[in-house]
């Protein structure tokens, strides 16, 4: 269940607990169901998971201030659990303008997490917009100082942009690890397989986010279900997706944003059994067939990360795109339109978009959200 984490020589669990999609009470993302979530996190740690991931804005209402995830993690890791894990969190790169900003946010995060040191500290969501600003502000000097004074143990980055920029960033600093989006639908997307192999050749530990594409590759259309039913070994769609990622020997950790104890239990079971290079040619062929079915049907490349939220006009953008994709993926059944009607009663419909573009400035997938919302409106309204 463990793999060497690149040049760090640390052994990390192949399954990491991602604290971006914890169970909540009601619809307020800041209102984490702490009893349920703490039980889930500690159950995972007791079962061998030793990588816990969070970030400054997770479970918040925007990107200009801290969310509820980091303070929750600090609470969940009390009673001796902090000593059992490698803790990862991220510098909010989009808020950085000066070298002093970097120290201010890191020190704030240490307080929020109730810890003296962060094991794996990432520069969050690097792209062509923030990267030049960070270089000018002195990101290398900051990381060197934070490593020297012990506030962080290893420096890394997470990435959402094109692979050529990814290679530039990998070569810019002596990183210990990186985090990229990777799943069987996104093999050629952003850093992709080429970036995965590039980082591995430089002995970086590699953390994978969105292994199930925000849950989108868990709900299979009937045509795809028929394909996996042909397999000799019966597996759930989630297990197929996770095993495909773990099949890559370059991968160190796969982050899963688990929201129920059942998901925790299933993911731990799969992690204990999954090995690199273990899928047979027949099984890889099955996944490729499912991939082809999906790519022909999915219209909007949304992972429901909610970086686009909150919307000033009150639109639940991820839910709009989820229902829109469901319409096309699941054979245009009435269910998607009915679901959209329910969503529109508790939040604004797509037609209320004021085209401010705020959402697009934070979208890791680079989706033309304003144009896609027009498509949602045309289909459902």
Low-confidence ranges of the chain (pLDDT < 70): none
* DSSP-based three-state secondary structure for 266: helix
List Cα–Cα distances, 111 to 75, 117, 366, in angstroms: 12, 10, 33
pLDDT at 2: 95
Helices 369-380 and 334-346 sit at what angle, rounded to 10 degrees? Answer: 110
Phi, psi of 91 (to 5 degrees): -75, 125
Residue 243: what pLDDT? 96
- The pLDDT of residue 301: 85
Which residues are 126's β-sheet partners? 159
Q: Is the sign of the CA dihedral 258, 274, 167, 107 positive or negative?
A: positive
The average confidence (pLDDT) of the chain is 93
Long-range pairs, 66-71, Cβ under 8 A, ≥24: 66/108, 66/109, 66/112, 67/29, 67/30, 68/29, 68/30, 68/31, 68/32, 69/19, 69/20, 69/22, 69/32, 70/109, 70/112, 70/113, 71/112, 71/113
Residues in the chain: 381
Under 8 Å between Cβ of 64 and 95: yes
SS3 content of the chain, % helix, strand, coil (to 5): 45, 15, 40
Q: Which tokens go with 381? A: 């309204």
Longest Cα separation, the chain = 59
Distances in Å between the Cα of 80 and the Cα atoms of 15, 42, 75, 83 are: 20, 10, 11, 6
What is the per-residue pLDDT across 167-184, written as a single tens digit (0 to 9) for each? 999 999 999 999 999 999
Q: How far is CA 143 from CA 5, 51, 54, 71, 160, in A?
A: 19, 21, 19, 23, 20
What is the pLDDT, as a whole number, of residue 242?
96
The distance of Cα 6 from the centroid of its chain, to the nearest Å, equals 20
How distant, in Å, are the alpha carbons of 93, 119, 135, 191, 346 from that of 122? 10, 10, 15, 16, 36
Residue 314's CB: how many other CB atoms inside 10 A?
A: 11
Backbone torsions φ then ψ of 158, nearest 5 degrees: -110, 155
Element (H, E) at 88: strand 86-91
Question: How many CA atoms lie within 13 Å of 299's alpha carbon, on the beta-carbon side?
Answer: 20
């Amino acid at each position: 269940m463990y793999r060497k984490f690149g040049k760090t020589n640390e052994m990390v669990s192949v399954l990491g607990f991602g604290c971006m999609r914890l169970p909540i009470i009601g619809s307020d993302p800041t209102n984490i169901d702490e009893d349920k979530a703490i039980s889930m996190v500690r159950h995972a740690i007791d079962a061998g998971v030793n990588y816990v991931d969070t970030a400054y804005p997770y479970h918040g209402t925007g990107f200009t201030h801290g969310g509820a995830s980091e303070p929750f993690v600090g609470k969940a890791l009390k009673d001796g659990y902090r000593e059992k894990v490698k803790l990862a969190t991220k510098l909010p790169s989009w808020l950085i303008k000066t070298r002093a900003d970097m120290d201010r946010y890191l020190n704030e995060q240490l307080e929020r997490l109730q810890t003296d040191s962060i094991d794996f500290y990432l520069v969050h969501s690097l792209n062509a917009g923030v990267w030049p600003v960070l270089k000018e502000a002195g990101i290398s000097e900051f990381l060197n100082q934070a490593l020297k004074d012990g506030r962080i143990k290893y420096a890394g980055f997470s990435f959402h942009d094109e692979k050529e920029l990814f290679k530039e960033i990998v070569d810019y600093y002596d990183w210990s690890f990186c985090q990229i989006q990777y799943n069987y639908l996104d093999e050629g997307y952003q850093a992709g397989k080429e970036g995965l192999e590039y980082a591995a050749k430089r002995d970086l530990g590699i953390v994978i986010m969105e292994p199930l594409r925000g849950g989108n590759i868990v709900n299979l259309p009937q045509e795809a279900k028929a394909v996996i039913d042909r397999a000799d070994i019966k597996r759930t769609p989630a297990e197929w997706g996770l095993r495909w990622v773990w099949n890559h020997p370059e991968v160190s950790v796969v982050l899963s944003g688990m929201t129920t104890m059942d998901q925790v239990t299933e993911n731990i079971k799969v992690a204990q059994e999954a090995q690199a290079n273990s899928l047979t040619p027949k099984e890889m062929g099955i996944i490729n067939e499912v991939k082809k079915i999906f790519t022909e049907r999915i219209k909007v490349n949304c992972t429901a990360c909610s970086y686009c939220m909150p919307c000033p006009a009150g639109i639940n953008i991820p839910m709009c795109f989820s229902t829109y994709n469901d319409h096309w993926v699941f054979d245009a059944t009435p269910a998607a339109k009915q679901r959209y009607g329910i969503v529109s009663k508790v939040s604004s419909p797509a037609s209320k978009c004021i085209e401010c573009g705020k959402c697009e400035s934070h979208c890791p997938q680079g989706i033309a959200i304003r144009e896609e919302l027009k498509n949602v409106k045309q289909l459902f309204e």
